[in-house]
Structure 1
């Protein structure tokens, strides 16, 4: 991910050359009888699909940063970076490999968080949204987790933990590659825990387990990597029937569900672009906002249609009442 961010920043710089202090006639390369200028590059690059996406991302980022950037704290940015890269040594290695500065990385994360703040600002939860979140929610459990790279290692660990008087924590310390290995493999998680911390396959297995039960090796293939997991459930709990007991958690789940809904985010981004009065000046990028503005305008038309329908119903009711009085 960080390499991709560095590439984006590099392209941003090249694109800026077309309208900043640099001249579009500045030469990128020369050859016998010809040359390639910054202007040549821009004219060629701007029609590329990747360039179109980059400009769209820049517009959205700047719109949301202008309106919601002040709502994002430095602590939130640093916490996001820590959650992604872990220790400082790993982060520094990645920054060096990508030739990206800490400041550039922080700015990128701040833009992402500003977008999230903007989306949350538009969330208006219904009873149906809360009910859907409640149905999918499982409260926090206490467990121990061993993660290994291969099936052979997983089978070997499984044999060890099934032995009489086996100490799951010691086996986790000796074999696990998970960050929790230093704490006897102990993990606390609920249904909202990110998949990079506890894979979804592991969570789904956990909800039906009894206290003291140990799973067979669970194979996981995801964007975060492949591996095998063995879970020991220490304390499971049923959520019961009282949703109010988990009111804050359910609202968070319902909000996340909204933010992760593509139709919702497209409409919200479109509304914010319209509110910011974004105008495309280069014909090459004339269509990049269409999906968002169409979604926003469609929502407005739907609202107008509802209002018109209500007006018509009110008018019909009035006419009917007048007729009855006559």
Structure 2
């Protein structure tokens, strides 16, 4: 069973693998050569690796939702979705199409991963030493405005205009290629050092700014050149003041560790009272829990 699958979440097309109830199996497809029933489809899909992985994911998601569903808010999912939209800008729809996903499926995948992170928070330990080490790279969540342009010359034109007293919001509407934010003065979703949807060069440049300051040199990214203005940059404070955020960042990092993730998933499934009713699928969770009994 693929360990990586648990980290990905249900990002692909979920296939219906429900066991057929007593009675006649429902027809899925009709053709001039005959019909295809749910039972036929299920029996075929459960023999494939993709079908097995999808069922594994469905089992895990059921258990995670039951145990941690109340801890994942819709606002968290929507915030991450906004970050993706801001990151990809006008290419967001193309990105979804390339991944073979709808926006609803992306939101589902985001929620799955947030549920998994709650499990990591619950099933792994966080010592003071761990938190202090994480604090060395910690930056508090900042609020910024950004103007993204295609070339360096235009970025320098924007910076010159700012130095001459022009308003950042006005310049964003005039020059920014980010259609999702330009009419709101380029205002971005808040981000911290652990935010993965913001370019590392942008984060590095932003964290150097004080409130009201802007970058005096263009920041080169894959999307073009960016001019950043700091709106709100909180004080870093002490590690004890940010225990919750530090644990959250560590949990996100641990989700990339296959051994840690395997241990967490095993613990979650063992506590989920999972029973495989289809005898031919009894070993589908082998390596995580024993469902043969």
Contact 1:144/1:232 (8 A) holds in 2: yes
In 2, are the aligned partners of 1:77 and 1:109 still within 8 Å (CA)?
A: no
CA distance in 2, matches of 1:27, 1:232: 55
* Residue 252 of structure 1: how far off its partner (Å): 3.2
Moved more, 160-169 or 130-139: 160-169
1:98-140 CA distance string (max 9 Å, x none) = 9x998x9988776655444333222320133213311221234
Mapped partners of 1:6, 1:142: distance in 2 = 33
Query: Structure 1 regions of 5+ residues with no counterpart?
Result: 88-92, 221-225, 295-326
> Using the alignment, how far apart are the partners of 1:6 and 1:141 within structure 2?
33
CA RMSD of aligned residues (A): 4.2
1:270 paired residue number:
266
| Cα gap change, 1:249 to 1:19, in 2 (>3 Å) | same
8 Å contact from structure 1 (residues 138, 190) kept in 2: no
The aligned runs of 1:124-163 (5 Å cut-off) are: 124-141=125-142, 143-148=144-149, 150=150, 152=151, 154-163=152-161
The 1-side partners of 2:103 and 2:231 are apart by 43
Is residue 220 of structure 2 the alignment partner of residue 218 of structure 1?
Answer: yes
* Match of residue 81, structure 1, among 55, 63, 78: 78
Higher relative contact order (CA 8 A, sep 6+): 2
Task: Give 1:83 shift.
Answer: 4.5
1:129-278 alignment runs, 5 A limit: 129-141=130-142, 143-148=144-149, 150=150, 152=151, 154-163=152-161, 164-167=163-166, 168-176=168-176, 177=178, 179-187=180-188, 189-192=190-193, 194-196=195-197, 198-208=198-208, 211-220=213-222, 226-232=223-229, 239=236, 242-278=238-274
Cα deviation for residue 160 of structure 1 reads 3.2
Q: What is the number of residues matched between the two proteins?
A: 263
Displacement after TM superposition at 1:267 (Å)? 0.8
TM-score (norm 1): 0.62
Q: Deviations over 1:225-244 (max 9, x none)?
A: x444222457768847x433
Q: How far 1:214 sits from its partner (Å)? A: 2.2
Measure the CA separation in 1 of the matches of 2:29 and 2:138: 56
Say if 1:243 and 1:162 are closer, same or farther in 2 by CA, change over 3 A: same
CA contact (8 A) 2:147 2:186 kept: yes
- CA contact 2:131–2:247 (8 Å) conserved in 1: yes
Please state whether the residue corresponding to 1:147 is helix, strand or coil: strand
Asked whether the equivalents of residues 213 and 232 of structure 1 are also in contact (C-alpha less than 8 Å), the reply is yes
**Unaligned 5+ residue runs, structure 2?**
1-9, 86-92
What's 2:56 paired with? 56
The partner residue of 1:289 within 244, 263, 285 is: 285
Q: Could you state the TM-score of these two structures normalised by the residue count of structure 2? A: 0.68
Rounded Cα–Cα distance in structure 1 between residues aligned with 2:74 and 2:232: 33
Contact 2:143 2:191 in 1 (8 A): no
More helix by share: 1
